[in-house]
Chains A and B, each alone.
Chain A
């Protein structure tokens, strides 16, 4: 089956939301519809379900890794070159806590950023079906599906006031 990409550009969010509703009513599955904007809208503004993601797992993994590295670094270096100081323990825990804390936070931050990029489905080598007018306030409604579904979407775009309809080269 041929997969087609069709983008409808609407001049404002209201018409785009109506267009997206009309697509769903015409039987276009939600998984085939993407709304492209240049600014964040409240979740569900275009009738889309809440985004499923696991972003909150990433900081915990990063924090655990950072903590482990901090522990290894501080304990390992003190044990590798022991400096007995007045009969005190070789491992100086209060000092270790500071570096382990920084390691934990660094790991959490780095993994959060990686998580954001990963969960946002980035990086993308190619933009795909896109129109630069989206960055000027147009709202793009993108349908990626098999030929008959996209054919129905094209009709919906025309009826619901899409100002521009663009299609990418079909791919098999």
Chain B
């Protein structure tokens, strides 16, 4: 961290609250197309509910397709936020300061979007309530707690509630600053949400403790959520799904795609809100180093998954891998997946110049997410597509236009959510940035002037 931008508190307020307290034309340029895409997505959902899930490409034997792939993908993305925020808070990493809230907000919207997809996938979303909530007292019908399809909602509900509360608690001091800097309905709005926060020494002490305590509480939930999502597959008897390492493999895959998504979000925020003074090449350098470690760990688990299948020599499992590796279109998708998720980005991140290049970091982070979406697709579809005995109706899986709209719409939905959050709330934590400025002092060591950080 060699770069230092010294800003006054007034400048920080102006820079970081500007977008929330005014409405620039750029906002509409982004919000209108995204809103239309979200509207199109929900129209597709309505169309599917009206005509039934026959309008999708799902057919025997592939009954889990794009929607479940997308569900796993967005749960994965949601992992980055809290992981980055919680681990960096607990380890007092200074470079976390401008990143944490954007990462947490991405978690909330990605997870809420993910949770939509299994509901949409059922075709009759309102009936899903029977599986999840124990409410049908009159008929004595209860959720089957032995099913991973019950574990999933409980984990996602916990994670979504926890992440939302995490965002809210850390937002309270900034809401108070927004209250002090606004007038009219905005002042009332921020005044209500800030709960009368005044920044007493007691309130700050508890705010700092809250960051540590909630981080420590949410990290085990973060690990459990994607483990449980992996058990949706691991607990089944489908070849290549019934794998013991799926839980850690899914968790590290989630971190790989999620941290990359945070990088993409950082680049977009930096560009959209002119945050060059807050999101510097140093931050991208640091997160790039983290991504090298995460990417290699993910690759290790990928190989484990592959070798477990080969070494066990279970014919069914080998057949699924053959389908993935040698049969059109999975072989091409498999090659794209490996190249984009690992072989392009990770070697590039080894170069400092790449890690400090913001356009290259954006491209490599998008590349990872293309690859990781395909990874989920290649886990789910070939496992079901493989020809097994006693299957008499046989169709290939080809996603319909409705499914393609749903998937593209989900990206618009997450982007729209983050954009709307940024419109109303500061996406970079003001108090964290101000604290970082206060605690940093330049130290002279020999002929060098080095920024140091004071810590209790």
Contact = CB atoms under 8 A, between A and B. Distances in A.
Contact of A51 (B205, B224, B228): B205
SS class, residues of chain B in contact with chain A:
helix
A28 to B, nearest CB: 16
Interface string A96-116: 101101110110111011001
Contacts of B200: 34-36, 121
Q: What's the interface size class on B, roughly?
A: 35 or more
B393 interface: no
Interface string A123-143: 111111010101111000000
Greatest chain B CB density within 10 A among A98, A103, A135 is at: A135
Given A102-B221, A110-B161, A136 B13 contact: yes
B329 interface: no
A73 B161 CA distance: 19
Contacts of B434: 38-39, 137
B201 A92 contact: no
Contacts of A56: 213
A1 interface: no
Nearest to B176: A135
Contacts of A92: 145-146
B127 to A, nearest CB: 18
A46 interface: yes
B10 A123 contact: no
A73 B146 contact: no
B140 A81 contact: yes
B181 A99 contact: no
Greatest chain B CB density within 10 A among A38, A95, A123, A125 is at: A38
Contacts of B224: 98, 101-102, 105
Given A101-B224, A110-B165, A127-B196, A77 B10 contact: no
Contacts of A38: 9, 173, 176-177, 199, 430-431, 434
B407 interface: no
A98 B198 contact: no
Nearest to A75: B145
B456 A124 contact: no
Interface in A34-68: 34-43, 45-46, 48, 50-51, 53, 55-56, 59
A77 B142 contact: yes
A144 B172 CA distance: 24
Interface in B147-166: 147, 150-151, 154-155, 157-158, 161-162, 165-166
B151 A123 contact: no
A106 B158 contact: yes
A105 B217 contact: yes
Contacts of B218: 109
A147 interface: no
A11 to B, nearest CB: 11
A113 B221 contact: no
Contacts of B198: 36, 124, 127-128, 130, 134
Nearest to A126: B196
Greatest chain A CB density within 10 A among B195, B204, B208, B228 is at: B204
Contacts of B220: 105
A23 to B, nearest CB: 14
A119 interface: yes
B204 A40 contact: yes
Contacts of A109: 158, 161-162, 165-166, 214, 217-218, 221
A39 B431 contact: yes
A108 B161 CA distance: 12
B195 A81 contact: no
Contacts of A108: 217
A126 B220 CA distance: 38
Interface string A9-51: 0000100000000000000000000111111111101101011
B154 A103 contact: yes
A137 B165 contact: no
8 contacts: A48-B201, A96-B145, A105-B162, A105-B217, A109-B217, A109-B221, A124-B196, A136-B10
Given A37-B204, A40-B204, A77-B143, 16 more contacts: A38-B173, A39-B204, A46-B201, A55-B213, A74-B145, A92-B145, A102-B151, A105-B220, A105-B224, A106-B161, A108-B217, A109-B161, A112-B217, A120-B202, A122-B196, A132-B180
